[in-house]
Amino acid sequence: MKGKSYLFDTHALIFWYQQAEVSEAFIAFFDEQSKQGQLFVSSATFWEIGLLAQKGLITISDVKAWANELLALSGIRLAEPSVAEMIDSTLLPNRHKDPFDRLLIAQARHRDFIFVTRDALIQEYEVTAFWL
């Protein structure tokens, strides 16, 4: 695989795919990364999206259909969490309380992904973070 690969935080995925709350440059950059096979999303992200929708914190009426459409049309690739990544997420310094973010940090670290997030707490971990 050539170039750097990117792992989306949950909010970054939603903003990019819905083309909301991000710049045109952000959308264009990650559209290109997706075409090159350099853009990833953790399968755990869809679990988090389902929980957020269930709680009414985001508006996606059919998460399964939304996820299937995204995966079929976008070119984004799935990153299935490994046992080591799940365990390592529990061993991270206890700065960030969100277990989903902790898992994504561990995945980004294990796979040398650039983590696409605007969450300032992520910067406190040994992970390369990026926001455009």
User: For the domain that residue 42 is a member of, what is the CATH number?
Assistant: 3.40.50.1010
For range 23-34, the mean pLDDT: 96
Name the percent of the chain lying above pLDDT 70: 98
pLDDT per residue as tens digits for the range 74-129: 999 999 999 999 999 999 998 888 999 999 999 999 999 999 999 988 888 989 99
With H, G, I as helix, E, B as strand and everything else as coil, classify residue 71. Answer: helix
Q: Return the amino acid letter for 87.
A: I
For range 11-38, the mean pLDDT: 95
**What does pTM read for this prediction?**
0.92
- Asked if residue 33 belongs to a domain, the reply is yes
How many C-beta atoms lie closer than 10 Å to residue 22's C-beta? Answer: 19
- Asked if residue 59 belongs to a domain, the reply is yes
Give the residue numbers spanning the domain of 25.
6-130
Name the percent of the chain lying above pLDDT 90: 89
- Asked if residue 1 belongs to a domain, the reply is no
What is the count of structural domains for the chain? 1
pLDDT class for 1, splitting at 50, 70, 90? very low
- Asked if residue 55 belongs to a domain, the reply is yes
What is the DSSP secondary-structure string of 94-106? TT---HHHHHHHH
- Classify residue 60 as exposed, middle or buried by CB count within 10 Å of its CB (0-12, 13-18, 19+): middle
